[in-house]
Amino acid sequence: MEENKKSEDVYDMAIIGSGVVGYGTAMYAGRFHMKTIVIGDAPGGVITTTDVVENYPGFKRLTGIELAEKLKEHAAEYKSVTLLDDRVTNVKKGYDDLFEIMTLGQKRVISKTVVFATGTEWKKLGVPGEKEYANKGVHYCALCDGAFYKGKVVAVIGGGDSSAKDALVMTQWAEVVYIIYRGAKIRPEPVTYDRVLANKKIRLIHDTNVKEIKGDKFVTHVMLDNPYNNSHEFKLDAVFIAIGHIPLSGLAAQLGVKVNAKGEIMIDRDSQTNIPGVYAAGDVVDTRFKQAITGVAEGVKAAYSAYDFIEKTKK
């Protein structure tokens, strides 16, 4: 880092990740007049793969894309906030305790504080055929790829909120939607569970794992560890895998940020990590509830904490 870096080139806060958490954090930082940059190459983040959001207070019902757009617009209202469509490749501590952030687009950003709002990626099932049939009957996003399966038979694998929501999304196209769950009873939000039970197109298969995905050019069937209708072979046209997420904490870990056994960034109640000036929020952190509203709230706390940190460390 150049030692005589002009102060106007230095950001107060660099937010890595352009999902709703990144935008919400930037909006608060904007209110503190903090010179802020949000860097991310997946604008809107994972919520844009959700068709209907009904649990963000203040909005009874809107799409994931609409919610992300609203938060983005709100953040961009503040003149001190810049949005950069780019991928961060490295974050390191540089001269004078400032952070140096490099991007794929060869940008170098210098900042007093960093917020990791990097989210998660889809967890893979890890069975034979999964890689081979990716996008040929194996999918991870019902909203993105579901329309290909009009009138077909599909299965969603998993038993959390995502599997239930994906199954409901798929009923607008597919003829029959199975939820294949390894446990005794799926456990989405009760409101979503009621909708699953009430939907005649959805059928539940419990206590069952998919051991292999098979096909020719496209998926034709899966192999189950427990027989269904007396057969281990289960015919279908597609599987949507919704078995959870893996935190994208690699960049933070490289910087020395502590992560737990699940790879989630460990934060305190003020969204601070173990490194002064470094914060994290949203699905990537070690909090139990992973909702848009809880992630945004963690981001808001990160903005407050970063503001305090900058004030206290002012030279």
Residue 178 pairs with which residues in a beta bridge?
155, 203
Single out the residue of 192, 190, 147 nearest to residue 165, CA to CA: 192
In terms of phi and psi (left: phi > 0; alpha: psi -120 to 50; beta: otherwise), the region of 116 is beta
Q: What is the closest distance, in whole angstroms, from the C-beta atom of residue 170 to ligand NDP in the complex? A: 14
Q: How many residues bind ligand NDP (CB under 6 A)?
A: 20
Q: Which of residues 33-72 bind ligand NDP (CB under 6 A)?
A: 55
Cα–Cα distance for residue pair 80/82, rounded to 1 Å = 7
Single out the residue of 214, 210, 30, 13 nearest to residue 117, CA to CA: 13
Q: Give the nearer residue to ligand NDP in terms of CB position, either 160 or 299.
A: 160
Q: Does 139 bind ligand NDP (CB under 6 A)?
A: no
| One of 40, 160, 215, 277 touching ligand NDP (CB under 6 A) | 160
Give per-residue burial for 132-144: e unless 16+ CB within 10 Å, then b: ebeeebbbbbbbe
Q: What is the closest distance, in whole angstroms, from the C-beta atom of residue 244 to ligand NDP in the complex? A: 3
Q: Does 129 bind ligand NDP (CB under 6 A)?
A: no
| One of 86, 91, 116, 161 touching ligand NDP (CB under 6 A) | 161
Enclosing H/E stretch for 11:
strand 10-16
Q: Give the nearer residue to ligand NDP in terms of CB position, either 189 or 212.
A: 189
- Kindly write down the DSSP assignment for every residue of 143-208, as one continuous string: HHHGGGGTT-EEEEE-SSHHHHHHHHHHTTT-SEEEEE-SSSS----HHHHHHHHH-TTEEEE-S-
Provide the residue type at 182 as one letter: R
Q: What is the closest distance, in whole angstroms, from the C-beta atom of residue 67 to ligand NDP in the complex? A: 11
| One of 183, 250, 256, 276 touching ligand NDP (CB under 6 A) | 183
Q: Does 30 bind ligand NDP (CB under 6 A)?
A: no
Contact characters 271-310, ligand NDP, x per CB under 6 A: -------------------xx-------------------
| One of 100, 189, 270, 286 touching ligand NDP (CB under 6 A) | 189
Cα–Cα distance for residue pair 312/260, rounded to 1 Å = 29
Contact characters 229-248, ligand NDP, x per CB under 6 A: -------------xxxx---
Q: Does 159 bind ligand NDP (CB under 6 A)?
A: yes
Q: Does 125 bind ligand NDP (CB under 6 A)?
A: yes
Q: Is 43 in contact with 91 (CB distance < 8 Å)?
A: no
Q: Give the nearer residue to ligand NDP in terms of CB position, either 86 or 298.
A: 298
Residues near ligand NDP, by CB under 6 A: 55, 125, 157-163, 165, 182-183, 189, 209, 242-245, 290-291
